[in-house]
Amino acid sequence: MASSAHAPADTFPKLLVRNARMFGDRPAMRHKDLGVWQTLTWAQLLDDVRAYATGLHRLGLKRGDTMAIVGANRPRLYASVMAAQMLGVIPVPVYADAVADELSYVMAHAEVRFAAVEDQEQVDKILSVSDRLPKLETMVYDEKRGLRDYDHTRLHAMEDVIAGGRKALAEDASLAAWLDAEIAAGKGSDTSIILYTSGTTGQSKGVVLSAERCIGAGSDTVAFDKLTERDAALAYLPLAWVGDHYLNYAQGLIAGFCMACPESGDTAMADLREIGPTFFFAPPRTFEQMLTRVTIRMEDASFLKRRMFYYFIGVARRYGEAILNKQQVPLHGRLLYWLGNVLVYAPLKNVLGLSNVRVAYTAGEAIGPDLFSFYRSLGMNLKQLYGQTEAFLYLTAQPDGQIFSDTVGPALPNVDLRIADNGEVQFRSPGQFVSYFKDDLKTKETMTPDGYVKTGDAGFFDGKTGHLKIIDRAKDVGKLKDGTLFPPKYIENKLKFFPNIREAVAYGDSRDFVAVMINIDLTAVGSWAERNNVVYGSYQELAGHPLVYDMIQKNIEEMNRSLAEDKVTAGAQVKRFLILHKELDADDGEVTRTQKVRRGFVAERYAPLIAALYDGSSEADISTEVTFEDGRKGVLAARVKIRDVATVPVAPPLGKAA
């Protein structure tokens, strides 16, 4: 059955129809509502989506329109994408936590006529910027709470739209035939979705993706990881991110597996334990947070439990990956690992919700080798991939048995990768985007004359493994005044391998040395403060504590020793640092909704601090505008301390005097 699930279909509505026919009574979606898991089978999902599409059509939605999807991972928002595609309408997901200005930019740029939103919060945000959205005609919402007294002239509850569509289909047989014809009229070359980039370097761009290319790319990776209708995934990633649309929506429809939606973003990790997915994706930050929680709990455990835990984690580090890779391991090692699995590894994976994981991926940022090895040593098949929105995600992925912490794998089947003369990674792939929406100039700039897409990332193929290694954004790689290579992202990622450091921003291009600004991880450092009787009342107070500075200084000096081991990076050691008085926040424009630092914006906002890092000052004053959760603005002022860091002596670059 699994293999026949991959029969050709060139649009997602056609895949939905196929899945309802082949896997009718199997679970398509699960959602935790009011503490209880609800299940939709493929047959039920198709029935709901058909009724929903009919209801939207009756409200005036028609082929060629664009429809915004705004909210968290909920079955009816995924159904909104399916219903839109069924009608030949182009869905445009928007980040649920986007502030009103960001949301209005995307909706206005995409010229949306309809919006499908989660709840009152999203309705209010859109209404607050309605004067900027002249083409918006109608909104439908999932959660009714708080919206009863609103003007419903152009506002409709999704369940009412679905009920109206179902009633119309039952009363008029010609409607069903019309809808069948609409589904059949969909072509693989049609625009399937527009996904907006995170906007790291400026305004977001609308990436136009076609149905046949999305399905072609998804089919390759479904085959690569042998995904079937018996797999399950937790759909907790942002709806507007290419990762969710690819890993869950596209692969789920292609393979026929079940997507489980958490009750909320706050309960996602708890819901992970209850679902026990077989396919799982998380950015390195999530894996770090999981391990941090485990470490904190072990610090509070009894002496005997701590000793047992750390002893068997040591056993896992010695033998776990070799056993996972089916390599030769001495009998006593296998026995110790078996005992460790009974006493530690299996219970730990159960607590984390990873017991059933057959395939897991991480991407988006570099993952620390120790963190990567930790999960693999527990027997979890954790791998890395590399991709981007313009490729519809996957370009490379690590095949089973070819796992290295410092690479992202070889090119996937049917993907053509090359390294340009300037070190930039370029590709042609099945999922290659069609264009940037309403931006032919930017589309042309991104393409090479022979049809390759410029990723903007600098990388190279490892000589030993043939796998791709990503260094940094090509435009961000710079040089110090003495000619030493300065890869800021590489340095920042190495710093973020330390659990105490949540974010780092490095500077040094055209300067005498490298300096960094640090965000501490409040969970990890807060737990340390509690254990060491360090009293604090806020993030700002903890960040400025001398003992916290001591701890971060040791982390940076350890990283410097690591940089010194490689002649390419030895001269890029960090000499000065400070700990920011506030966390970098997407609402303040400092990071994107996918948590990528907007380096240029941060440099402007914290210019006085950067100047102080380089003029020898031991402290500097800063006042920063902040955005509160309710949208109000405020100002946060602080005096930030600056410290020097020890470096490892290295030979000067060639051609320079010693």
Report how far residue 252's alpha carbon sits from residue 410's, in angstroms, rounded to the nearest whole number.
Answer: 24
Q: 300-313 in b/e burial notation, b at 16+ Cβ within 10 A?
A: eeeeeeeeebeebb
pLDDT band for position 651 (cuts 50, 70, 90): low
Give 372's contacts (C-beta < 8 A, 6+ positions apart).
362, 382, 384, 405
| E strand intervals along 103-172 | 114-117, 138-141, 155-157
- d(Cα 28, Cα 20) in Å, to the nearest integer? 9
What CA–CA distance (Å, rounded) separates 590 from 505? Answer: 11
User: Rounded distance, CA 76 to CA 66, Å?
Assistant: 17
Token pair 């410290």: residue = 643
Closest CA to 397 of 348, 360, 440: 360
Q: Do 3-225+240-264 and 284-472 share a fold? A: yes
* Whether 276 contacts 250, CB under 8 Å: no
Instruction: Give the type of residue at 351.
Output: V
Domain 476-644: CATH superfamily is ANL, C-terminal domain (3.30.300.30)
Secondary structure letter of residue 25 according to DSSP: T
Please, is 607 exposed, middle or buried when counting C-beta atoms within 10 Å of its C-beta (0-12, 13-18, 19+)? exposed
* pLDDT on residue 7: 42
Q: How many CB atoms lie within 10 A of CB 533?
A: 6
Q: Are 149 and 120 in contact (CB under 8 A)?
A: no
Q: What is the pLDDT of residue 166?
A: 97
For 173, residues 6+ apart whose C-beta sits below 8 A from its C-beta are none
CATH code given to domain 3-225+240-264: 3.40.50.12780
Task: List, in order, residues 6 or more apart from 378 with CB less than 8 Å away.
Answer: 316, 320, 345, 348, 349, 354
396 with 321: CB under 8 angstroms? no
Token output for 108: 């206005």
The larger pLDDT score, comparing residue 502 to residue 367, is at: 502
Structure tokens at 86: 């069924």
Mean pLDDT of 359-380: 90
| Sheet with 416-419: strands ordered across | 416-419, 424-428, 453-461, 468-473
- Is residue 657 predicted with pLDDT exceeding 50? no
Distance, in Å, from the CA atom of 146 to the CA atom of 151, rounded to the nearest integer, reads 12
pLDDT tens digits along 169-187? 999 989 999 999 999 999 9
- Model confidence at 653, pLDDT cuts 50, 70, 90, reads low
The pLDDT tens digits of the residues spanning 19-77 come to 999 999 999 999 998 889 999 999 999 999 999 999 999 999 999 999 999 999 999 99
Write out the two tokens for 66.
């664009």
pLDDT tens digits, 160-171: 999 999 999 999
CA distance linking residue 400 with residue 387, whole number of Å? 18
Considering the segment(s) 284-472 as one domain, its CATH architecture is: 3-Layer(aba) Sandwich (3.40)
CA distances from 523 to 293, 381, 502 (A): 8, 27, 10
The crossing angle, in degrees rounded to 10, of helices 75-86 and 173-185 is 80
The first and second tokens of residue 591, run together, are 């990071």
Distance of CA 365 to the CA centre of its chain: 9
- Average pLDDT value for the chain: 92
Token pair 């085959």: residue: 223
Residue 328 one-letter amino acid:
Q
Q: How confident is the model at residue 658 (pLDDT cuts 50, 70, 90)?
A: very low
Region for residue 115 given its phi and psi (left: phi exceeds 0; alpha: psi -120 to 50; beta: otherwise) = beta
pLDDT > 90 fraction of the chain, expressed in percent and rounded? 76
| pLDDT tens, residue by residue, 237-256 | 999 999 999 999 999 999 99
Tell me if 72 sits within 8 A of 236, measured CB to CB: no
Buried b (16+ CB within 10 A) or exposed e, 89-105: bbbbbbbbbbbeebbbb
What are the backbone angles phi and psi of residue 587, rounded to the nearest 5°? -65, -25
Closest CA to 515 of 561, 546, 560: 560
Q: Which phi and psi angles does 232 have, rounded to 5°?
A: -145, 145
For the cut 80, the answer to whether the pLDDT of residue 496 exceeds it is yes
Give me the residue label for tokens 């590709």.
Answer: 427
Label residue 598 left, alpha or beta by phi (over 0 means left) and psi (-120 to 50 means alpha).
beta
Q: In the structure encoding, which two tokens stand for residue 612, read together?
A: 């102080």
What integer is the mean pLDDT of 590-606?
Answer: 86
The Cα 271–Cα 262 span in angstroms is 6
Per mean pLDDT, which range of 83-92, 105-114, 280-289, 563-572 is the poorest?
A: 563-572
pLDDT digits (tens, 9 = 90+) for 500-555: 999 999 999 999 999 999 999 998 899 899 989 999 999 999 999 999 999 999 99
pLDDT digits over 373-430, tens only?
Answer: 999 999 999 999 999 999 999 999 999 989 998 899 999 999 999 999 888 999 999 9
Give me the residue spans of the domains in the chain. 3-225+240-264, 284-472, 476-644
Handedness of CA 234, 238, 239, 244 (dihedral sign): negative
Residue 405 contacts residue 382 (beta carbons within 8 Å): no
Above 80 in pLDDT, residue 440? yes
Give helix then strand counts, H and E, for the chain: 23, 27
Q: Which amino acid is present at 179? A: L
Rounded-to-integer distance, Cα 583 and Cα 241, Å = 22
In a 3-state reduction of DSSP, which class is residue 551? helix
CA 153/CA 138 separation, integer angstroms = 9
Please say whether the beta carbons of 409 and 467 come within 8 A.
yes
C-alpha dist (Å) from residue 530 to 282, 304, 580: 28, 22, 21
Closest CA to 396 of 406, 386, 404: 386
List phi, psi (to 5°) of 448.
-90, 160
